[in-house]
Chains A and B, each alone.
Chain A
């Protein structure tokens, strides 16, 4: 606030001087605006630092010596004004993160002996049960022990659609309970919470110097004293003091030095708000150059949960429903995920599935169960006594599904097929990646037909199936050898070597994983592929902004230099243009702070949950689970 008062007084004095024609007022204006600058310059000088403030002071005092009161006042006023504006706008730029820091909860309602007590966060210990009421903030990372409600997790994941929470759900500190009531067992408190980790990570990322930034900082350390020497030399050579002083003013490297940090702060801050944590300036630059993305299949492109896709009748004495029901009842004795898919499929069709008492699983083949006095088999043809010769089964397997014969007393009566489902947000994400000229490569440990089927329906460019973890590393390396910049999306468990080798390692669904937050080059808090597209888009925008800013800064100095050398540019004009260039640079960086719609293809709105589309009869976009041996 004080800054603005000084600026205002100085401006008033300048105007008064114009009106009255009295030079003394100009001098006063210069003193008012310049006093602070001089103090700062002196403080720096005392510890041996030649600062920009010193340049301005020398220029202003020099102007006084040649009786140029107007120039002196203008230079100090403009510099002070510029500083005040810079501080204001830089705070705005840092605001994205500052809001996050301030939104961190400070108190909680803990249940002590069943009674609610309000305490400070640091008084809690893991295991405490806290009460979160409607409209309150969740104070800790934890597990819901009872209650239910909708939680707005925007501060962590960037998603504004409330997430439903019930017993055993995970909740995060800093999120808001929009409806309902929750009792939460505290797991991560204060600095151990995901929110704190995100804040630290983002701050470290903002501070992390992009290569270009380090270069600029080194450059400016020699630049400022160099300019003073050059100005001195010019002054001595040309005996034109005004010229020398003007050179001093325009050579402030302000815009150049600030162009990159401010862009990085804005870019990383914005993406953090969107639930994307980027590790630093250098990673931003690399992410902007990514032209290939390697993704796993199960869990990333597919849900990892098999669903029933087809029911075929081979013996017309049975209806499709009867075939399904028999299969489902037989499967009640199995714990295989394929069994669950069949049972769910039957229940969804309204068929009662009563549990069977006698059943015998056959390893690698299927299951035999006793249902209503008959032997029912679900599985490979080996379990039947009659050779089925059903071409439909082969067809289903070719489609990448897992097809099983249903037999009654050894006779084939039908076929049921299950498959993994494609995540609803996957097609849109891949289309969006293609739209940016990015190649999508699938790398999976699953079988070839399955992988191909998924790849075809999604439009994946390259498929590599049946890969071991070492093979994934080799794949990344070979892509890089082709000159590609590779981003790899992994789960961090068996992908670690490949993730480390990739130019950018991406972790999805990082919200619950402290290790992922700390180490991934890009951590997507929400478990959604379209976020990756958003992250890459943001990286490109930020790098573009940095380039634009550097160009503006350099152009300004060049134009001013030319102007001074060829005449026409005075100290005050030089300072005006210089300060304007700094503010323009900051302003352009602030454009990065604008919220953007997540960049996915139209039709994949952000309301979709992870489970994706399921269809029972007959599915067109489903694929099998890995090597489903029955």
Chain B
């Protein structure tokens, strides 16, 4: 099981309560070991196993709680 950290970026974080929502949703996914929302800079750092939880599934999960994100190279 190889864990990698992916950075997702979003411009839609406007209310600090969304931090909890997104983190809880992502952490509940299979293959995700940790998720941290960086509210001020608009990033989500996700530690996950790409085989079990590919990037697409992360983006979809966050979309399900109402936020569009896209993966970022940096």
Contacts and interface: CB of A to CB of B under 8 A. Distances in A.
A52 B15 contact: yes
11 contacts: A40-B65, A43-B21, A48-B24, A49-B20, A86-B15, A91-B11, A190-B73, A196-B74, A199-B74, A203-B41, A203-B43
A53 B28 CA distance: 22
B18 to A, nearest CB: 8
Chain A contact residues: over half helix, strand or loop, or mixed?
Answer: helix
Given A43-B65, A207-B39, A51 B16 contact: no
Interface string B1-18: 000000000011111111
A217 B18 CA distance: 12
A221 to B, nearest CB: 8
A49 B41 contact: no
Contact of A94 (B11, B20, B65, B74): B11
B34 to A, nearest CB: 16
A92 to B, nearest CB: 10
B11 A261 contact: no
A83 interface: yes
A310 to B, nearest CB: 55
A83 B14 CA distance: 7
A257 B73 CA distance: 30
Given A86-B15, A90-B14, A44 B21 contact: yes
Contacts of B25: 43, 47
Report the interface size class on chain A.
35 or more
The 6 A-B pairs at the shortest CB distance, nearest first, are namely A203-B41, A206-B40, A207-B38, A86-B14, A47-B24, A51-B17
Contact of B21 (A49, A91, A200, A254): A49
Contacts of A47: 21, 24-25, 28
A207 B42 CA distance: 9
B66 interface: yes
B7 to A, nearest CB: 10
B52 interface: no
A261 B40 contact: yes
A44 B17 CA distance: 9
B64 interface: yes
A265 interface: yes
Given A39-B66, A91-B11, A207 B17 contact: no
Contacts of B74: 101, 104, 191, 196, 199-200
B35 to A, nearest CB: 12
A196 B74 CA distance: 7
Contacts of A60: none
Contacts of A220: 16-17
Nearest to A257: B16
Interface string A260-300: 01001100000000000000000000000000000000000
Nearest to B19: A217
B15 A258 contact: yes
Given A97-B41, A261-B40, A265-B41, A49 B17 contact: yes
A91 B73 CA distance: 20
Given A202-B41, A264-B40, 20 more contacts: A44-B21, A47-B21, A47-B28, A49-B20, A51-B15, A51-B17, A86-B15, A87-B14, A94-B11, A98-B11, A101-B72, A101-B74, A190-B73, A199-B74, A203-B43, A206-B38, A220-B17, A257-B16, A261-B40, A265-B41
Nearest to B21: A44
Contacts of B24: 47-49
Interface in A363-394: none
A203 B41 CA distance: 5
A529 B25 CA distance: 48
